Structure 1
Amino acid sequence: MGTGKSTVAQYLAEQLAYPYVDLDQEIINLAARSIPDIFAEEGEDAFRNYESEALSKVSEFTSPVVLATGGGAVLREGNCRAMLDSGCVIALTAEEHTIVSRVQNDRNRPLLQGEASKRVSELMEQRRGKYDFAHLSVKTDDRDVQQLAEEIVAFYRQYSRYEKSGRG
């Protein structure tokens, strides 16, 4: 949350000429209502079920896409396996103060109800180590989208060559 996943993924999709898929939008389409409504009406566990179902559908795509997941998608091991089985996984990270400054006024984030700083700290602790399965981890603090994209595209091109060689 607040690391720049959606922004960076959209830019990457343009650079790679791949379709951009936002998992949150896929969840909204699947549930036929907004994410805040899902949380309010059914709770976080139901949201996570929708998230897993949407991720499963996206991982069945046969052509490459750039997918932006929500930060909590890693809370289910099956989601992590689906991501790894589908391709190159990049984790975007940021320091707590950076995340708080980016999300503190966003009312569309149900997990931030209450004091944003405290909730971000709790979520970061809950998710610590959950992104370690990613092929690459990139810090987004004080970096612009173009810098991030250049680093990720360079890594992805190496990863793709390695995968195509049969060594991956």
Structure 2
Amino acid sequence: MGVGKTTVARRLARDLGVASIDVDSYLHRKHGKDANQLFKQRGEKGLRRLEAAALAECSAMGPAVISCGEGIVALPRNRSLIAQQGFAVLLESSMEGSLARVRSLRTRPLLAQGCDTDKLWCERKPLYDEAARAHIDVQGKSTAEVAAEVTVVLKKAGIYRP
């Protein structure tokens, strides 16, 4: 949350020569509403179902770097799909720094609703850990540095061969 997933994904995709797909942007294009609007209209469960369908559709588009919203891990089927068809890299920063960035924006549906961010983090952290096959600390690093680190991880895992 607030670690630069979309920005890093775009840079990484460019560096690897593949498509960059943002699940939230895909949802917005498909439904004509952003995640906040979909959350207000359909509730959290409805939003999570739409995210799951969008993730499955995006995963079928071929080689790509896919950036997902923080809540994508809430459903077991999403974590399963990520494990089967992808290689998830968790970008990490200090919780305080990340939350400070996103709290000021109020663009995250649950944060806009005033949820307890500490509780949310504690609930989701094990899910992030389950989904991620690699962790990268982004604190104090540029987008290019983080993308380069992800590239090294992908090479070591045999996912990317230049």
The residue that corresponds to 2:141 in the other structure is 143
The structure that has the greater radius of gyration is: 1
Counterparts of 1:82 and 1:148 in 2: how far apart (Å)? Answer: 24
The residue that corresponds to 2:125 in the other structure is 128
Q: Can you list the C-alpha shifts for 1:2-38, whole angstroms capped at 9, x where unaligned?
A: 1211111111011111110000012223333222211
Please tell me whether the aligned partners of residues 88 and 159 of structure 1 are also in contact (alpha carbons under 8 angstroms): no
Q: Can you list the C-alpha shifts for 1:59-84, whole angstroms capped at 9, x where unaligned?
A: 222x3100000111111111011112
Range that drifts further, 119-128 or 41-50: 119-128
TM-score by length of 1: 0.86
TM-score by length of 2: 0.89
Range that drifts further, 121-130 or 105-114: 105-114
Q: Amino acid of the residue matched to residue 144 of structure 2?
A: Q
User: Superposition pairs for residues 47-126 of structure 1, below 5 Å?
Assistant: 47-61=47-61, 63-113=62-112, 119-126=116-123
- 2:158 pairs with one of 157, 160, 163: 160
Please tell me whether the aligned partners of residues 24 and 34 of structure 2 are also in contact (alpha carbons under 8 angstroms): no
Range that drifts further, 82-91 or 26-35: 26-35
Counterparts of 1:66 and 1:87 in 2: how far apart (Å)? Answer: 9
Q: Write out the 4+ residue segments of structure 1 that deviate beyond 2 Å after TM superposition.
A: 29-32
- The answer on 1:40 being equivalent to 2:40 is yes
Aligned residues: 160
Runs of at least 5 residues in structure 1 that lack an aligned partner in the other structure: none
Please tell me whether the aligned partners of residues 2 and 100 of structure 1 are also in contact (alpha carbons under 8 angstroms): yes
